[in-house]
Structure 1
């Protein structure tokens, strides 16, 4: 079940965000909870950061924002992750499917997201949902400790 994130959700979100299977594909390097607080506050302040619960436990999260003006029909998904302990249980499909359905009901005609080119599992998932690669940002992403840069893929889904 989707709901807006609250300040009380920070520890559960931080635990998922910091998991070794999730961390490589989100914006920030591993950090203590205290350092994560301002980042989390920014997510809350957006008014567009959602958590996904199963049996009362937070098992995933995402941010869904709408663009302004002439691109008001476009929604962007980001800061998206599922607890690795829930992988293969249909959580991501339910969560992202719900997000897309809600955005479509609110008038979005296009959903876009960015995904690291080396995130094979995520890319397969997005492609199954109908997202297609629309562009490549070369050497866009750099993880601490890695000698190389990673391309970022721009993916889009048209809602008809």
Structure 2
């Protein structure tokens, strides 16, 4: 079940976000719990950061922001992650299906996202949902523990197709 994140979700979101299987792909290097509020607070305050619960426990999260003006038909999907213990259980697919269904009902006709080029699992996941590779941002990020920069692959999905 999807719901807006609340301050009480901080600990669980931190645990998922900072897990070694998740953290490299969410844009922040490892940090102590005390420092994580600089990541969580803006997500929570955005009013568009959702957690996904299974049997009352947060098992994933994502942020979705709709653009304004001429691009009001477009939404950006980001900060999407699933708890490592829920990998392979269908949680990610259920979360994505729910998000896309809600966006369709809201009149969104295009969804955009970026994914690290060195994250083949996520790339395959998005492509299964019909997202198309539309371009690459070269040297888009640099993790503290990596020597090289990492490209970001830009994906788009037309919900009207």
Q: How would you bin the TM-score normalised by the shorter chain?
A: over 0.9
CA distance in 1, matches of 2:149, 2:55: 39
CA distance in 2, matches of 1:65, 1:145: 30
CA distance in 2, matches of 1:30, 1:101: 33
RMSD: 0.6
Alignment of 1:70-89 (within 5 A): 70-89=70-89
In the alignment, structure 1 segments of 5+ residues that lack a partner are none
- Match of 1:6? 6
- Match of 1:121? 121
CA distance in 2, matches of 1:64, 1:13: 16
In the alignment, structure 2 segments of 5+ residues that lack a partner are none
- Match of 1:151? 151
Structure 1 residue 47: deviation in Å?
0.3
Structure 1 residue 32: deviation in Å?
1.1
CA distance in 2, matches of 1:140, 1:118: 12
Aligned length: 160
CA distance in 1, matches of 2:153, 2:92: 19
Structure 1 residue 38: deviation in Å?
2.5
Helix, strand or coil at the partner of 1:148: coil
